[in-house]
Structure 1
Amino acid sequence: MRRRVVVTGMSVVTALGNDIPEFWDNICAGKSGVGPLRRFDVSNFKVRFGGEIAEFDPSETISSRDVKRIDRFAQFALVGAHKALETSGIDLTDGDPYRHGVLIGSGIGGLQEIEQQHVKLFYRGPDRVSPFMIPKLIVNAASGNISVRFGLRGPNSAIATACASATNAIGDAFKLIQDDRADIMVTGGSESAITPMGLSGFARMNALSRRNENPQTASRPFDKDRDGFVLSEGAGIVVLEEYERARKRGATIYGEVLGYGMSADASHMTAPDPEGAGASRAMSGALRDARLELDQIDYINAHGTSTPLGDVAETTAIKSVFNSHSKKLCVSSTKSQLGHLLGASGGVEFVVGALALHHQTVPPTINLDNPDPECDLDYVPNEARTTKVRAVLSNSFGFGGHNACLVIGKMD
């Protein structure tokens, strides 16, 4: 018998807020967290905006000494883990620490550290490179630091599947609890790729929107005038727990993780399968794993990056999976408000899905002013909608053809 897995804690670090109530209010109000970049000089860049987190102070969670030893992406994850555990009300001393684990995804890891240390190497020589460089930049630095900080001695892993990283991480953590290999998992994703190299690299791929004059309207999923995604940063971290354990301690339960599906496009390193075949398989797999009928899904938090090819491919995939029910679904992309957090996006969007269940409200797709005829579903344009939400499908698709989907259900 499969064990039930529930969400008992959550946190976000985003350009629209670093605590859940503020974040959810801003999401439902249709606000944008996108704006001009301030952390470094972008005057000679073709793209000069993004979803930068202006107000982030790790000092309440991380000592000043350790801040210097932990890259920004891992700081996001560590602060997020602290808040998620705090909201869960879990007493980690109650239980077996060897059944308490952590699994955090990141598409890129410590890019900021790589850039800074390369400058030192190039201009000052190898003896000036920091001895903390390697433990700062590795993708598993987020999981490792969380494990050390909170004494989580159970499963400890990291996922790097580009923009599907956080969703794969949550899905794998879900399966560890479901299969009785863990009781508690701290999981999600974190990313901090708004650096000179990150910004210029994505811009040179022509992946980014170039609406420098009006950045808040730049991320416009499913709109005919979309011209690329908006680079953002942040983290979305959740606490997953075995249901009976959570029930016995009287935990607040935000939703139940019901299903997980993943697949590969095996088509192209950066472009999606134009027919959405891989995405379709991942969605269908998640639904089978959840043991739900098509009409039991009420809301899809779409990957919806605002790229010309990706939004059409995802729409095609949704229609191929849900058939006639696709026209009854609410589908929205919160990347229209947050931008694209790359490997962290699935973590934040999983939180959005859980909050949609909890509040029975579907967030909007903002900037949807001129719908693309090829994108013809109900994308909840520009205003949040109060409606019945029984189950949510959360989609994440990454470079390399990685597809990952999760189903979250409302508790009875």
Structure 2
Amino acid sequence: MSSNRGSRVVISGIGVVSPFGIGREKFWESVSQGKSGAKVISTFETEGLPCRVAASVPPVTVEDLVPVPLSTGVDLADVGRSRADPRRYSRTSLIAVIAAQEAWNDAGLSAGESSAGVIVGSGAGGIDVAERQYQEYFTDSWKRVSPYAIPVSIVGMVSSEISIALRLHGISHVLSTGCTSSTDAIGYAAQMIRAGEADV
């Protein structure tokens, strides 16, 4: 893809879900005060493990999702049909959608923006869902394995859930390049905007 180096690309909205909780202001306040997000692990059993401390994100629920105003060009008849069921989100997707909604609102954008897409950097995706489904499958509960087990657990679903939540029809990609995934995603998105392939 050719790039127009004369075009400026800016980050106009920020959304954060961190070990300090939900919201960029809470994150910035904690970091500015030198607080640590590391805590004793409580989400799984750590007995016998060499490390029992992590900077993990506290529990989030679908109640933490925030509304994003609809663009004037969105057909209201399609709103219900294009909505995913947040109860089927992996933890990764739920965190990603919450952060994306905050960033979208922070940028003053509306759901259904034309020429807008999603590029996400993620190292894994919905591993929590895959782990639970494997536990179900290899025990007497195998009949309870969800038909959504594969699509919900794959890393590509993260960008898809954001696209559905924000009602976007542009590009939907996930870059999984290890620790640099999110930085690579920002660079890739900037290239696309410079090339005129997307506005947002």
In the TM superposition, 1:46-61 aligns within 5 A as 46-61=50-65
Which residue is equivalent to 1:160? 176
Instruction: Measure how far apart 1:125 and its partner are.
Output: 6.2
Q: Structure 2 vs 1, CA of residues 55 and 121 (structure 1 numbering), >3 Å: closer, same or farther?
A: closer
Which residue is equivalent to 1:19? 23
In structure 2, C-alpha distance between the alignment counterparts of 1:17 and 1:24, rounded to whole Å: 11
Q: Does the Cα contact within 8 Å between 2:16 and 2:99 map onto a contact in 1?
A: yes
In the TM superposition, 1:136-155 aligns within 5 A as 136-155=152-171
In structure 2, C-alpha distance between the alignment counterparts of 1:39 and 1:60, rounded to whole Å: 19
Choose the corresponding residue for 1:74, options 93, 111, 128. Answer: 93
Runs of 4+ in 1 over 6 A off after TM superposition: none
In structure 2, C-alpha distance between the alignment counterparts of 1:90 and 1:54, rounded to whole Å: 27
- Of the two, which has the highest radius of gyration? 1
Report Cα offsets for 1:378-400 as digits up to 9, x if no partner.
xxxxxxxxxxxxxxxxxxxxxxx
Instruction: Measure how far apart 1:109 and its partner are.
Output: 1.1
Q: Over aligned residue pairs, what C-alpha RMSD do you find? A: 1.9
Matched residues, number? 179
In structure 1, C-alpha distance between the alignment counterparts of 2:59 and 2:145, rounded to whole Å: 29
Choose the corresponding residue for 1:172, options 176, 188, 193. Answer: 188
Report Cα offsets for 1:360-409 as digits up to 9, x if no partner.
xxxxxxxxxxxxxxxxxxxxxxxxxxxxxxxxxxxxxxxxxxxxxxxxxx
In structure 2, C-alpha distance between the alignment counterparts of 1:175 and 1:128, rounded to whole Å: 44
Instruction: Measure how far apart 1:162 and its partner are.
Output: 1.2
In structure 1, C-alpha distance between the alignment counterparts of 2:141 and 2:28, rounded to whole Å: 47
Report Cα offsets for 1:169-220 as digits up to 9, x if no partner.
1111111001110001xxxxxxxxxxxxxxxxxxxxxxxxxxxxxxxxxxxx
Matching residue's letter, 1:74: S
Q: Identity, % of aligned pairs? A: 32
Instruction: Measure how far apart 1:114 and its partner are.
Output: 1.4
Q: Which structure's residues are more often strand, by fraction?
A: 1
The answer to whether structure 1 residue 104 and structure 2 residue 120 are counterparts is yes
Q: Structure 2 vs 1, CA of residues 67 and 153 (structure 1 numbering), >3 Å: closer, same or farther?
A: closer
Q: Does the Cα contact within 8 Å between 1:114 and 1:137 map onto a contact in 2?
A: yes
Matching residue's letter, 1:45: L
Matching residue's letter, 1:30: G
Instruction: Measure how far apart 1:55 and its partner are.
Output: 4.7
The answer to whether structure 1 residue 114 and structure 2 residue 130 are counterparts is yes
SS in structure 2 of the partner of residue 103 of structure 1: strand
Q: TM-score, normalised by structure 1?
A: 0.41
Q: Does the Cα contact within 8 Å between 2:62 and 2:87 map onto a contact in 1?
A: no
Worse-matched range after superposition: 4-13 or 16-25: 16-25
In structure 1, C-alpha distance between the alignment counterparts of 2:110 and 2:16, rounded to whole Å: 21
In the TM superposition, 1:357-372 aligns within 5 A as none
Report Cα offsets for 1:327-365 as digits up to 9, x if no partner.
xxxxxxxxxxxxxxxxxxxxxxxxxxxxxxxxxxxxxxx
Instruction: Measure how far apart 1:135 and its partner are.
Output: 1.6
Report Cα offsets for 1:54-96 as digits up to 9, x if no partner.
252331428xx93431100110001111111111111345x6x
In structure 2, C-alpha distance between the alignment counterparts of 1:54 and 1:151, rounded to whole Å: 27
Q: Does the Cα contact within 8 Å between 1:100 and 1:154 map onto a contact in 2?
A: yes
Q: TM-score, normalised by structure 2?
A: 0.82
Q: Does the Cα contact within 8 Å between 1:16 and 1:27 map onto a contact in 2?
A: no
SS in structure 2 of the partner of residue 100 of structure 1: coil
The answer to whether structure 1 residue 31 and structure 2 residue 47 are counterparts is no
Which residue is equivalent to 1:85? 104
